[in-house]
Amino acid sequence: MRIATWNVNSIVARLPRLLGWLESAQPDVLCLQELKTTTDAFPHEEVSALGYEVAAYGLGRWNGVAILSRVGLEDVRRGIVDQPAYEDAVEPRAIGATCRGLRIWSVYVPNGREPGHPHYAYKLRWLEALHATVVAESSQDRPLAVLGDFNIAPTDDDVWDIGAFEGATHVTDAERKALAMLRDAGLSDIVPRALKYDRPYTYWDYRQLAFPKNNGMRIDLVYGDPKFASAVSDAYVDREARKGKGPSDHAPVVVDVTL
């Protein structure tokens, strides 16, 4: 099976690119983030025409997640265990489903904005809830994978210049410790182990020629339990999808597994 994750930064703006990429990359399961649309307004018809079932979760603002599958879509769950609210709203940032025996979560971790901001504290609470969800899901006898935009660079090598991030989010000790809790729960960071090259970036800002300069970050991650990790045969970041006119600022991450 081919499993992928992609922060599309607006499903409406990126729909032609998404449909073209589905036809060329042929993922069996695709996790999407930052839909920026409602569940009902998701382009179900266009995606279904390519043979995919859709489980979407969106309220139309700055978040929203989905799972697309052509190998079955069962036991759909919207939201994580005891998910915290931000400004009295529970945001659509996580959706889970079972696809041909594989339990998959598509997650869009809060950005955090800046250390000390209420959104940063919300991000850490949200990651605690994700950890609780992973612990609960790990009790089931099936492979488990959590994919998405984590808004955390796991190591200093996962950003183009750690000095440029002094006092910024995505690289703080507290965020990285929260990410390490997923590893303590039995998940591992899949892509660096499977790739034939070292820690490629997955996100480049639209500004200051970040993509041509390769001033990027690796924040779109694939975490899996031992059953999933042992089945991985290959992985890559599709930089080509970041090129051209009107791309997302993220590139898809693709993992091939034998399950």
Q: How many CB atoms sit inside 10 A of residue 111's CB?
A: 18
Catalytic, out of 28, 52, 57, 108: 108
C-alpha 72/C-alpha 53 separation (Å) is 7
74 annotated to a ligand binding site: no
34 annotated to a ligand binding site: yes
Structure tokens at 190: 């899949």
Among this protein's residues, is 149 annotated catalytic? Answer: yes
Among this protein's residues, is 108 annotated catalytic? Answer: yes
CB contact at 8 A, 255 and 217: no
249 annotated to a ligand binding site: yes
250 annotated to a ligand binding site: yes
7 annotated to a ligand binding site: yes
Look-up of token digits 């808004």? 151
Q: How many CB atoms sit inside 10 A of residue 178's CB?
A: 21
Backbone angles phi, psi at 151, to 5 degrees: 55, 35
Instruction: Supply angle C-alpha 153, 157, 159, rounded to 5.
Output: 55
- Cα 24 from chain centroid (whole Å): 20
CB contact at 8 A, 222 and 195: no
Catalytic, out of 28, 149, 158, 225: 149
Among this protein's residues, is 234 annotated catalytic? Answer: no
Q: How many CA atoms lie within 13 A of 21 on its CB side?
A: 27
- The residues that are catalytic are 108, 149, 250
Binding-site members for Mg(2+) are 7, 34, 149, 151, 249-250
